Structure 1
Amino acid sequence: MSVAEVMKKKINEELSPEKLVLEDESYMHAGHAGANPQGESHFNLLIVSDKFEGVSRVQRQRMVYDILADELKDRVHALSLRTLTLKEYKSA
């Protein structure tokens, strides 16, 4: 299973998102520190979940970092997060 597939599976299991978009942006960082020639080292992630309701932005990011701790220790060098409730997403 690819790193992206593992990440999506974990997020779906833990946060039951209404919307989940995971973009591998590794190609944009080729040759930079932390870039893996095989890809799957730099990601942009949008998660829309009601589990973020009443939770601060920092706490939301910590939730995601905890869920993806193994991937962040090993293969993932950079992760850009956008964490929203459904209401926030609809009004954005």
Structure 2
Amino acid sequence: MEAAGPTLSAETLRERLLQGLEADHVDVEDTTPARCSTSFKVLVVSARFRGKPLLQRHRLVNELLAEELKHIHAFEQRTLTPEQWEAERGRAQ
């Protein structure tokens, strides 16, 4: 019998990302339709992304959530530095 996977929720993923990446801001949206397994969309803002290309940023997130990702059907991520986040928020106002 296979062991049960980790408890997956937007809040548990948010906490893991906040702590593991010392993130300034994390949004996690559960995008799971009723007929599908778990699906999440995340936005992570962290100073640890400074100087890293997109692929390296995504690898940091994927490594941190390696156990959880084994049980996630779809995972969309945006990874920004605090400066990118501020510039983006400034344009939105």
The structure with the largest alpha-carbon Rg is 2
Contact 2:25 2:44 (C-alpha < 8 Å) held by counterparts:
yes
Could you say which residue in structure 1 is the equivalent of 2:15? 9
- Give yes or no for the alignment of 1:26 onto 2:26: no
Matched residue count: 82
CA displacement at 1:7 relative to structure 2: 1.5
Question: Following TM superposition, where does structure 1 have runs of at least 4 consecutive aligned residues deviating by more than 2 angstroms?
Answer: none
1:30-68 per-position Cα deviation (integer Å, ceiling 9, x unaligned):
43xxx22xxxx1111000110100111000001100111
Q: 1:86 aligns with which of 67, 78, 82?
A: 82
- Identity rate of aligned residues, in percent? 32
Amino acid at match of 1:80: E
Could you say which residue in structure 2 is the equivalent of 1:63? 60
Q: CA RMSD in A?
A: 1.6
Structure 1 alignment gaps of length 5 or more:
none
Report the TM-score, using the length of structure 2 for normalisation. 0.79
Structure 2 alignment gaps of length 5 or more:
1-5, 89-93
